[in-house]
Amino acid sequence: MSRKRVKLLVDSLTRSSKHFNKSEVECLVKLFDTLVAKASSHFAGAGFDRTVFRDTLHSAFGLTDEVMLDRVFSTFDRSNTGNITVVEWVEGLGVLLRGTLEEKMKYCFAIYDLNGDGYISREEMFQMLKNSLLIQPADEEPDEGVKDLVEIALKKMDYDHDGKLSFTDFEKAVREESLLLEAFGPCLPDIKSIIAFEQKVFRETPK
Ligand code: CA
Ligand code: CA
């Protein structure tokens, strides 16, 4: 990319970003470029693929679970093209690193709403919980324990009693008990890895 185009890109991203200043956006674009260079498959539009995304989030934030990383990828990849563009990258990191509670609630809800129909269903809770819990092999009927948890979650969060969680249900529950934000599986980086990531990426401020 030419210098002028990079400048235009950084200006436009800085304007649209609620969380990063100009020099931070520059650092994120720089990191984006190194990730694109790493990607084995090259798309028509510039971006990097799922594999690079997974490796990056794994090493930066310690997110190791494959299923969860796929969900995080899908919420970043808003245009659903199978690769992450620079806009998606900066916006997604904005939520992960510095998102407001509102943004984080939307993000987590989208992670758990596997089919994207606007509700977290019993089946979706079951799948996410089953995946995120370490089932002891000694458990005779591990699925039963997960089913019980789904019912407990519904009892606590399904305010309108329709057997599924709308965003309104989810929001109300999280505002009452913030731990419910990641009720169906960890999908946000912890504060330690956020600080480490920011120190590493934003350390050198390009001119
Ligand atoms: Ca759903
Ligand atoms: Ca409901």
> Is residue 46 domain-shared with residue 93, that is, in the same domain?
yes
Helix (H, G, I), strand (E, B) or coil at 198: helix
Per-residue pLDDT band for 185 (boundaries 50, 70, 90) equals very high
For residue 63, give both structure tokens: 């997110």
How many angstroms does the Cα of residue 162 sit away from the middle of ligand 1? 13
> Is residue 71 domain-shared with residue 124, that is, in the same domain?
no
> Is residue 94 domain-shared with residue 106, that is, in the same domain?
no
Per-residue pLDDT band for 41 (boundaries 50, 70, 90) equals low
How many angstroms does the Cα of residue 44 sit away from the middle of ligand 1? 31
Per-residue pLDDT band for 39 (boundaries 50, 70, 90) equals confident
> So what's the pLDDT on residue 108?
98
How many angstroms does the Cα of residue 58 sit away from the middle of ligand 2? 33
Number of the ligand closest to the Cα of 113: 1
Q: How many CB atoms lie under 10 A from the CB of residue 182?
A: 16
How many angstroms does the Cα of residue 32 sit away from the middle of ligand 1? 31
Q: How many domains does the chain have?
A: 2
Per-residue pLDDT band for 75 (boundaries 50, 70, 90) equals very high
User: Does 22 score more than 60 pLDDT?
Assistant: yes
Per-residue pLDDT band for 45 (boundaries 50, 70, 90) equals low
Q: Tell me which of 189 and 64 has the higher pLDDT.
A: 189
User: Does 205 score more than 60 pLDDT?
Assistant: no
Mean pLDDT of the 18-29 span: 96
Mean pLDDT of the 150-157 span: 97
Per-residue pLDDT band for 142 (boundaries 50, 70, 90) equals confident
Number of the ligand closest to the Cα of 109: 1
For residue 71, give both structure tokens: 């969900």
- Distance, in Å, from the CA atom of 207 to the CA atom of 204, rounded to the nearest integer, reads 9
For residue 54, give both structure tokens: 């997974």
Classify strands 83-84 and 48-49 as parallel, antiparallel or unpaired: antiparallel
User: Does 88 score more than 60 pLDDT?
Assistant: yes
- Distance, in Å, from the CA atom of 139 to the CA atom of 179, rounded to the nearest integer, reads 26
Range with lowest mean pLDDT among 64-73, 136-145, 157-166: 136-145
> Is residue 111 domain-shared with residue 175, that is, in the same domain?
yes
Q: Name the residues around ion ligand 1, CB cutoff 5 A.
A: 113, 115, 117, 119
> Is residue 95 domain-shared with residue 109, that is, in the same domain?
no
> So what's the pLDDT on residue 158?
98
Helix (H, G, I), strand (E, B) or coil at 129: helix
How many angstroms does the Cα of residue 123 sit away from the middle of ligand 1? 9
Terminal-to-terminal C-alpha distance of the chain: 17
**pTM, entire model:** 0.91
Number of the ligand closest to the Cα of 126: 1
Phi, psi of 83 (to 5 degrees): -140, 160
Mean pLDDT of the 50-68 span: 93
Most confident residue range from 3-17, 38-52, 125-139 = 3-17
User: 86 with 29: CB under 8 angstroms?
Assistant: yes
For residue 116, give both structure tokens: 């994207």
Residue of 114, 94, 117, 97 lying closest to 184 (CA atoms): 114
Domain membership of residue 173 as a residue range: 101-182
75: CATH:
1.10.238.10
Amino acid identity, position 1 = M
> Is residue 145 domain-shared with residue 198, that is, in the same domain?
no
User: Does 139 score more than 80 pLDDT?
Assistant: no
> Is residue 90 domain-shared with residue 106, that is, in the same domain?
no
> Is residue 81 domain-shared with residue 139, that is, in the same domain?
no
pLDDT tens-digit readout, 157-171: 999 999 999 999 999
> Is residue 197 domain-shared with residue 136, that is, in the same domain?
no
Number of the ligand closest to the Cα of 167: 2
> Is residue 94 domain-shared with residue 119, that is, in the same domain?
no
> Is residue 112 domain-shared with residue 142, that is, in the same domain?
yes
> Is residue 93 domain-shared with residue 112, that is, in the same domain?
no
Cα dihedral 99/105/108/113 (nearest 10): -140
SS (H, E, C) 43-110: CCCCCEEHHHHHHHHHHHHCCCCHHHHHHHHHHHCCCCCCEECHHHHHHHHHHHHHCCHHHHHHHHHH
How many angstroms does the Cα of residue 23 sit away from the middle of ligand 1? 38
